[in-house]
Amino acid sequence: MHNTPDNKSIQQAKKLAESPVGQQLLSALKASAGQEFDAAQKQVQNGDFEQAKIALSKLLNTPQIQKLLKEMEAGK
């Protein structure tokens, strides 16, 4: 059984992704782990949110990504 985010969560994620810091985050993820990031995107598109979450959690632990995540959090 998949953990499917609700519509509100999807809209919030989309808003964050479209923000300037969100765009920097996406670019940094693509630059540092392009193939892994692409695989996680495909998992989301296929509805496999749990596997995408696991894959992304590994990618989000670099110092550059952590800095951008803190900037996003501060911008809430």
Digit-coded pLDDT (tens) for 10-54: 677 777 778 888 788 778 777 777 788 888 889 988 998 888 888
Q: What is the pLDDT of residue 1?
A: 46
Residue 27 in domain? yes
Q: What is the pLDDT of residue 46?
A: 92
Indicate whether this model's pTM tops 0.85: no
Q: What is the pLDDT of residue 5?
A: 67
- In the chain, the number of structural domains is 1
Residue 1 in domain? no
Domain of 16, in residue numbers: 8-74
Residue 26 in domain? yes
Write the DSSP assignment of the chain as a string of letters: ---PPPHHHHHHHHHHHHSHHHHHHHHHHHHHSHHHHHHHHHHHHTT-HHHHHHHHHHHTTSHHHHHHHHHHHHT-
Q: What is the pLDDT of residue 2?
A: 53
Task: Tell me how far apart the alpha carbons of residues 72 and 76 are, in angstroms, rounded to a whole number.
Answer: 7
Residue 2 in domain? no
Residue 3 in domain? no
